[in-house]
Chains A and B, each alone.
Chain A
């Protein structure tokens, strides 16, 4: 055992004092209230416990992202994102976090606008590392993702419709999904939905500026996620464009829009816009050039047999559930907050029906 010399005693006392002072400083800091999800822009911004877009966490997540944007882009201050209490990340929330952080960091003039404070739990730390959040912010993390339900999260992004990057990731994740499950993921079906979602994003998502005047990044127009978890294959495509509400007037004939506005009386403008676009694609009445993207999004479910498609745009969302190749359930709702973009998200179960 090492002898406790007077020098070592003094050193330990100094370290204890330093740690105590750090604790005191940390306790004195003001933080946003957790109860209503409001996060004050400032030096440290606390991340939600669940990075999820399903209510009520969706509001908390979007407020968190808006606080980062306000601090970094409006106040031009660097910020630290406190993920200590974050316990879980879900596909739609994680892709929005990934895309919005990418946007904020690219638009900022600051040398290092965002710094990550690691989650306490290992799994969310592994996920943040795996999906490339540390790489975006320029932070280092010594975590090596190893869990089976983490290493098959794959993220990519791009500005064109060129398919190589998306195709290779889909092949890799689908191969893993098919290795361990009886029900197989059919790549050609997924490719149709995902590649058309990306093509639509490049074609339509940025033709108008969104509410905060953001018109799109030069080098990134879309972000994509794939995941295999809990015997389900998920793929999601996200853009930070103007959303369905702003584009349906240009892409869908007035007669069709009026009809669906009447059918969906009482629903929000965003829900009406998303549903109208989806139904236009399905209707078969569309012009040769238009409306096929939404039909292709649903064809993924038809081909796989079972699954769920979520389309989230601005404040609205709709979902289609399929079983045995036919639609069995339709839902829609409001998030209560504008996510500033569109997410198309498929979940395909890998267990037999």
Chain B
């Protein structure tokens, strides 16, 4: 299993959606840490604590964008993507983006 700590491995200040608008964006994070292992079916644990906070654009693009790009069903993704945060609302929000994004593909 691969563990990604956003604050340590990516940035303490995650923001924005697309990497053309900033290096700390959701798209940049997704491409750097999530796409490759998850597309191979490897388990990834994402740790959210330690950053200043999260904007919805970052979370939606990182995780909702993952579903749009890899076209993985939430039932499959939930088994291989482990979300770890001391704030339970973050996990709820991310799972919601995954669900909404999958529904938009139908």
Seen from chain A, the residues whose Cβ lies within 8 Å of a Cβ on chain B are: 160-164, 166-168, 170-171, 187-192, 195-196, 198-199, 202-203, 287-289, 292-293, 295-296
Contacts and interface: CB of A to CB of B under 8 A. Distances in A.
A161 B16 contact: yes
A202 B15 CA distance: 12
Q: Which 9 A-B pairs have the closest CB atoms?
A: A161-B16, A163-B13, A188-B53, A191-B53, A167-B13, A161-B22, A163-B15, A195-B15, A162-B22
B104 to A, nearest CB: 6
B78 to A, nearest CB: 18
Q: Which secondary structure dominates where chain B touches chain A?
A: loop
Interface of B: 11-17, 21-25, 52-58, 60, 64, 87, 97, 100-101, 104
Given A161-B16, A163-B11, A163-B16, A289 B60 contact: yes
Given A202-B22, A288-B100, 18 more contacts: A160-B23, A162-B23, A164-B13, A164-B24, A166-B13, A171-B52, A188-B53, A188-B54, A188-B87, A189-B53, A191-B13, A195-B53, A199-B55, A202-B16, A202-B21, A288-B60, A288-B64, A296-B55
Contacts of A161: 15-17, 21-22, 24-25
Contacts of B57: 195-196, 199, 292-293
Contacts of B17: 161, 199, 203
A288 B60 CA distance: 8
A162 B55 CA distance: 12
Nearest to B101: A288
A317 B14 CA distance: 29
B54 to A, nearest CB: 7
A162 B56 contact: no
In this complex, which of B54, B64, B87 has the most chain A Cβ atoms within 10 angstroms of its Cβ? B54
A170 B55 contact: no
A271 to B, nearest CB: 25
16 contacts: A161-B16, A161-B24, A163-B11, A163-B22, A188-B53, A191-B54, A192-B55, A195-B16, A195-B55, A196-B15, A198-B15, A288-B60, A288-B97, A288-B101, A292-B56, A296-B55
In this complex, which of A163, A192, A196, A292 has the most chain B Cβ atoms within 10 angstroms of its Cβ? A163
